[in-house]
């Protein structure tokens, strides 16, 4: 029976959000499921189709649904993910600083690395090894290096086995990437090598199930990373963390040549 729209023939987008939430809570919508068509949702909820669309846009902003062109609207499959836009708005509004971001990363990622040392699967370890190998193979390509760097940290968070930690690290990592991509071209070669070595130490500690070492190496690396970025900025005053321009194209991840990857992989696993 449709839910009556009170006070307006159009209804409210909150009714749409509440309706979908109830379906999820009752187990009638699960990851990967397709939502009913807009017309069906409008009839079942008792609102107009524009109201349904507004509600779906709100859910998409929360990362609860996503649209596939020509197919419909779906509940995302796979691990949970938090969208970065709300945090970017807060950063612009409240002027989050670089030091605050690095502090947040230490709080999240030091603990995540310890959990990863306890819980990482063989596939997750292989992913971390590949990212470290990619860093060594792309020392001369700083933006490619940065992609491997960020993906390594995402991989550690995923290996923690805690989807909440993984989602939070994903959100903060996206902000870090958008800020660091503006300065990484100025990174010193010695800093790049230090960072690659730091990631290899973290990987080896996780691989050997050394929880304390994984936490210590991650903490030391994040402190070092903050110093590296300060040098990249030179004497520039720290500015609030603003969201990137919406038209900025993402950096394409490119694989290193096969020979370089194999050589780096052997170095990583020694």
Q: Which CATH number fits the domain that encloses residue 39?
A: 1.10.10.10
Residue 6 included in any domain:
no
pLDDT of res. 247: 42
137 and 201 together in one domain: yes
Residue 122 included in any domain:
yes
Structure confidence by residue, pLDDT tens digits, 80-123: 555 556 666 666 666 678 788 889 999 999 999 999 999 999 99
Residue 8 included in any domain:
no
Highest mean pLDDT among 6-20, 125-139, 231-245: 125-139
170 and 114 together in one domain: yes
In the chain, pLDDT over 90 holds for what percent of residues?
Answer: 47
pLDDT of res. 89: 61
Higher pLDDT among residues 168 and 266, named by residue = 168
The pLDDT mean for the chain works out to 81
Residue 7 included in any domain:
no
Domain boundary among 55, 74, 93: 74
pTM of the model as a whole: 0.64
**Residue 59 confidence (pLDDT) above 70:** yes
pLDDT of res. 88: 62
Domain encompassing residue 64 = 13-74
Q: For residue 130, how many other CB atoms are within 10 A of its CB? A: 19
Residue 80 included in any domain:
no
**Residue 21 confidence (pLDDT) above 60:** yes
pLDDT of res. 60: 82
What would the mean pLDDT of 241-258 be, rounded to a whole number? 43
Residue 79 included in any domain:
no
Distance CA 4, CA 105 (A): 46
pLDDT of res. 182: 81
Among 63-72, 129-138, 236-245, the range scoring the smallest mean pLDDT is 236-245
pLDDT of res. 240: 44
45 and 125 together in one domain: no
What would the mean pLDDT of 25-48 be, rounded to a whole number? 92
Q: Structure tokens of 59?
A: 């859910």
- Structurally, the chain folds into a number of domains equal to 2
Tell me, rounded to whole angstroms, the distance of Cα 231 from its chain centroid. Answer: 25
47 and 154 together in one domain: no
Q: With cut-offs at 50, 70 and 90, classify the pLDDT of residue 232.
A: confident
236 and 224 in contact (C-beta within 8 Å)?
no
67 and 161 together in one domain: no
263 and 131 together in one domain: yes
Q: Structure tokens of 56?
A: 């779906």
pLDDT of res. 107: 95
In the 8-state DSSP scheme, what is residue 74?
A: E
140 and 200 in contact (C-beta within 8 Å)?
no
Structure confidence by residue, pLDDT tens digits, 185-195: 889 899 999 99
262 and 128 together in one domain: yes
- Rounded to the nearest 10 degrees, the angle between the axes of helix 211-233 and helix 189-207 is 160
């Amino acid at each position: 029976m449709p839910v009556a729209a009170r006070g307006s023939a159009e209804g409210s987008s909150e009714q749409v959000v509440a309706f979908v939430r109830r379906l999820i809570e009752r187990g009638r919508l699960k990851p990967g499921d397709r939502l009913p068509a807009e017309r069906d949702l409008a009839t079942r909820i008792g609102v107009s189709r524009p109201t349904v669309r507004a509600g779906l846009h709100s859910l998409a902003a929360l990362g609860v649904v996503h649209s596939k062109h020509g197919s419909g609207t779906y509940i995302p499959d796979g691990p949970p993910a938090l969208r970065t836009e709300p945090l970017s708005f807060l950063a612009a509004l409240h002027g989050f600083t670089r030091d605050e971001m690095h502090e947040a990363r230490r709080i999240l990622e030091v603990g995540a690395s310890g959990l990863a040392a306890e819980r990482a699967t063989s596939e997750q370890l292989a992913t971390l090894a590949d990212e470290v190998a990619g860093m060594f193979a792309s020392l001369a390509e700083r933006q490619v290096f940065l992609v491997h760097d960020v993906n390594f940290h995402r991989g550690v968070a995923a290996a923690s086995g805690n989807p909440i930690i993984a989602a939070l690290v994903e959100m903060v990592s996206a902000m870090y990437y958008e800020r660091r991509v503006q300065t990484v071209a100025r990174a010193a070669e010695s800093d790049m090598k230090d960072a690659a070595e730091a990631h290899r130490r973290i990987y080896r500690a996780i691989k050997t199930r050394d929880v304390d070492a994984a936490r210590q190496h991650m903490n030391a690396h994040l402190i070092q990373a903050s110093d590296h970025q300060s040098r990249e900025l030179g004497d520039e005053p720290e500015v609030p963390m603003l969201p990137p321009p919406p038209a900025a194209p993402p950096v394409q991840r490119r694989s290193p040549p096969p020979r370089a990857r194999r050589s780096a992989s052997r170095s990583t696993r020694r």
